[in-house]
Structures are given as C-alpha cells and as structure tokens.
Amino acid sequence: MLYNVFKNGSFSSPTFAAMKSTPFTQKHIDLGAKMAEFAGYNMPISYSGINDEHHTVRNNAGVFDVSHMGEFIVSGNHALDLLQRITTNDASKLAKGKAQYSCFPNKEGGIVDDLIIYCLEEGQKYMLVVNASNIEKDWSWIQQHNTEGAEIEDISDRTGLLAVQGPNATKILQELTDIDLAGMKYYTFEKGRFAGVDNVLISATGYTGSGGVEIYFEDKGDNAEKIWSEIFRVGAPKGLKPIGLAARDTLRLEKGFCLYGNDIDDTTSPFETGLGWITKFTKDFTNREALEAQKAEGAKRKLVGIEMVDKGIPRHGYKIQNADGAEIGYITSGTQSPTLGKAIGMAILSKEAAAEGNEIFVVVRDKPLKAKVVKMPFVG
C-alpha cells in the first residue's frame, strides 16, 4: 500500500538492487522523479510535486506508469466456471470487449484482492488485472481453486501498462490510434495499433475518476520506448505530464476509490466497504452463504468518508473515538485534498457511528481532533 512508501509525507530509502524495474524505470530516474519502493518495484512517487501533478490530472491529463500491476490470463472451456466460483461479480454478463470490477472473497468474509476482469473471448478467455502487492497471493489463490482445469498464465512480467488520465487524455492521444477513444464507453476496451505498436489493449478504465484510458502492451523490443515517446511527442505541447504514485493516491481518495491494504483487506467484507454492488448472489462463489447472511442482517461496520473540522491530517491506522472517548473505528486512508484544500479521509466505523453528519474524533498524536462523517465521493 502507498502508505508504506509515503508515510506522513516522507519517503522511505529504497534499496535499489533488491527492487524490480518497470519498462519505464530509467525514464523516471532520468526525469528526476523521487523514487521509492512500492510492491517490490522501484517506482516514481512524484516529479513536480503532489499538488501540481494532482491538478494536472484533474484539469488536463497525466501519465502514470502502472506496469507493476499483475495480469493473469484465464482461458479454456473451464475459464468462466473458475471466475464464477472465485469472484463476487457475475462474469457471465461479460461480452467480448467489456470489463468488470470484482473481488476475490476469502472464506472468513474478507477480501483476498479487488481486480478488473477483461473479457477477451466470451466464455473462453479473460485477463485479470490484480494489485501489484498481491500478485503472488492472488496467483496462489487462483491455482488453489482451479480444480476443473482452466488454463491460467501469469503474464505480469511481460506486460507494460500506462494509465493516461484526465479530461483531455483521449483528445491528446487520438492521433496515435484509429480506435475511437472518446467514443469508448466506461469499462470497455479495444485492441489495435497504438503509437506504431500492434496488439495494444486500450481500456476506458482508470483510478482517478477524471476520465482517460489505460494502455496494455507486450513488453518486448522497443514497444515501451515507442509508446512513451509518442505519447509525450503529442502530449507535452498540450501540457501532458508524467505523474507519480503520490498524486494517484490523492486523486483516488477524493473519488472514494478503495485501496487494497488500506480501505479493504482480508478482514473487511464487501458489504462493510461499499462493494455490495459487485456481490451478486445469482451464482455460487466462495463464502456466498455467509456474505448473503451479512447482507440480510446488515453489516456491523461501514466504510465512510470523513472531513476534519479541527486542524490535522487523518492517517491510515489512526483511532477514532466518540465524544465520550470510546473507540468506534479507525482511519483507513487520509490526506490533505488538493482540490478541496481541506483534510479528508476514509474510515471504518461502527454502524451506529456511521451516519452522515455524525461528529467523531480522530486521535492524532494522542490528541482527539474533531471531524465529521460526510458523503463520498468528496469531489464530483
């Protein structure tokens, strides 16, 4: 999780020899990015500064290197059956060219990981995109449940991925492809030629809530060099900038998007964290009965948005109290919002404390600071 890298505004000292590189790592270093370890990779945390990068994406467009993410191919006659058993969403609804947000439920009511499923061939072939920090864990989970013999392949190490995000992203990139980028509907994708490279998968997905696309390609030959160079050839004159992981975190938090390891994990259920909408009981899957019962009874905890009233920034793990000093929850993510100019966060609270407008107290350095429960997303 990003909190391990960018804790309280300070960077950890990376041990470069022990870390993996993406196809663009040297680019980031040459551009003077602040680098740090994330999920075992040497990743750019910021270039020009978090606020500048954040506003660049919200108002124009920016490029994120997210090649550290994991990609698995699941194929064959038993591919769909496997996905239906190990994910909460209904993958049978996917047609070729459609993507779906989902999660792997564990047997204790928590979440192994959240992921995006891309339907490459209906019923026969899918690409699963998982969190970088969970690649080995997810691969093991899928193998464990692959009892009917679906074909599975880990293509993470040979897949490059750039996310070009922002309201002007598709307009900037359009001259690099014949695919109608602006016409792509949310959570759809197409394969085609992009920046002189064939068989590139372009999806209308992202993690910023500002529009844009994600670009998947095979990391071989000079593919990475071509794609990076062409993107910035057409984009730099229009204000396109490289963006680090720190701004990615502030952008997703403003939109109320969950980060695995912070807001969701092995101990939080989909119904506690606002992911009931991706939990479909039209099929059988891991721990279905327990989750169905939780839905019927109502979750005892809830992930909510919070806004600080007193001066202070909520950080992951900070305890939350009520007015009587009783502990009622904890902060999962927090930051100073560049868009709003105020401190915001996400928190797991007891059901009784989670009502919008409720006054709470975040314990910062042993001092309870006043905050309130607010509706998410924080920005429209």
What is the average pLDDT score of the chain?
Answer: 95
Which helix (DSSP H) or strand (DSSP E) does residue 186 occupy? none
> CA-CA distance, 292 to 297, in Å (whole number)?
9
Predicted confidence (pLDDT) at residue 10 exceeds the cutoff of 50: no
In sign, the C-alpha dihedral spanning 354, 347, 102, 285 is: negative
Average pLDDT over residues 104-111: 97
* Per-residue pLDDT, 281: 98
| Contact yes or no for 213/176 (Cβ under 8 A) | no
Chain-centroid distance of CA 21 in Å reads: 20
Sequence length of the chain is 380
Q: Give phi and psi for 127, each to the nearest 5.
A: -110, 130
> How many CB atoms within 10 Å of residue 280?
18
What residues does CATH 3.30.1360.120 cover in the chain? Answer: 2-65+157-254
- By DSSP bridging, strand 62-65 and strand 241-243 are parallel
Q: Check residue 355 and give left, alpha or beta (phi > 0: left; psi -120 to 50: alpha).
A: beta
> How many CB atoms within 10 Å of residue 107?
9
Task: Convert the pLDDT of each residue in 218-253 to its tens digit.
Answer: 999 999 999 999 999 999 999 999 999 999 999 999
Q: Which fold has domain 2-65+157-254?
A: Gyrase A; domain 2 (3.30.1360)
Given 3-state DSSP classes, what are the helix, strand and coil percentages for the chain, each rounded to the nearest 5?
A: 25, 35, 40
At what angle are helices 79-86 and 135-145 packed, to 10 degrees?
110
Predicted confidence (pLDDT) at residue 291 exceeds the cutoff of 80: yes
- Residue 17: band (very low, low, confident or very high) from pLDDT cuts 50, 70, 90: low
Tell me which amino acid residue 16 is.
F
Q: Give phi and psi for 125, each to the nearest 5.
A: -150, 130
Q: What is the pTM of this model?
A: 0.94
Task: Convert the pLDDT of each residue in 127-171 to its tens digit.
Answer: 999 999 999 999 999 999 999 999 999 999 999 999 999 999 999
Percent of the chain with pLDDT strictly greater than 70: 96
* Per-residue pLDDT, 18: 80
- Residue 3: band (very low, low, confident or very high) from pLDDT cuts 50, 70, 90: very low
CATH class given for the domain over 300-374: mainly beta
Strand runs labelled E in 49-147:
62-65, 70-75, 99-105, 111-121, 125-130
> CA-CA distance, 160 to 218, in Å (whole number)?
6
> CA-CA distance, 24 to 225, in Å (whole number)?
8
Task: Convert the pLDDT of each residue in 172-202 to its tens digit.
Answer: 999 999 999 999 999 999 999 999 999 999 9
Predicted confidence (pLDDT) at residue 345 exceeds the cutoff of 80: yes
Predicted confidence (pLDDT) at residue 7 exceeds the cutoff of 60: no
Residue 125's DSSP bridge partners are: 75, 121
What residues does CATH 2.40.30.110 cover in the chain? Answer: 300-374
At what angle are helices 245-254 and 50-59 packed, to 10 degrees?
60
> CA-CA distance, 265 to 275, in Å (whole number)?
12
- Residue 14: band (very low, low, confident or very high) from pLDDT cuts 50, 70, 90: very low
Q: Check residue 27 and give left, alpha or beta (phi > 0: left; psi -120 to 50: alpha).
A: alpha
Average pLDDT over residues 30-52: 97
Both tokens assigned to 2: 């990003």
Cis peptide before 314 (omega within 30 of 0): no
Predicted confidence (pLDDT) at residue 11 exceeds the cutoff of 50: no
